[in-house]
Amino acid sequence: MSHTVEWTVHLYLFEDEGKTKARVELDTGPTALTGRGSARCNPEDEDVPVIGDELAAGRALNDLGQQLLRAAEQDIESVGAPPASPRPRPGYGWIA
């Protein structure tokens, strides 16, 4: 079965309250999702705006990606498939 669709994505970057913020909007036709992310420069670091843009955009895209995965899991379950088994997820940073 052949299947082709086109989804529209808009990514917005802006400064607000000393932070770089990103909003990414996905329109699939029947569904619209919005991911959000932000970044703040450490006052002791050199201010390189592109780094804040990259971090905020990456975090917004990650948020959107997680929303898409949750939507897909709900759709899979709605057609009668069993829930996916929990799987280990990669850890980042220090373990608490």
Domains and CATH numbers, the chain: 8-78 (3.30.160.240)
Closest CA to 7 of 23, 29, 22, 24: 29
- Token pair, residue 1, equals 């079965």
* Torsion on CA atoms 63, 69, 73, 75, rounded to nearest 10: 100
**pLDDT score, position 82:** 73
Q: What is the pLDDT of residues 29-48, one digit of tens each?
A: 888 999 999 999 988 888 89
Pairwise CA distance, residues 92 & 68, whole Å: 21
Q: Is 31 helix (H, G, I), strand (E, B) or coil?
A: coil
Q: Confirm whether pTM is higher than 0.95.
A: no
**Dihedral (CA of 73, 39, 42, 46) sign:** positive
**Mean pLDDT throughout 68-94?**
75
**pLDDT score, position 96:** 44
Residue matched to tokens 């082709």? 4
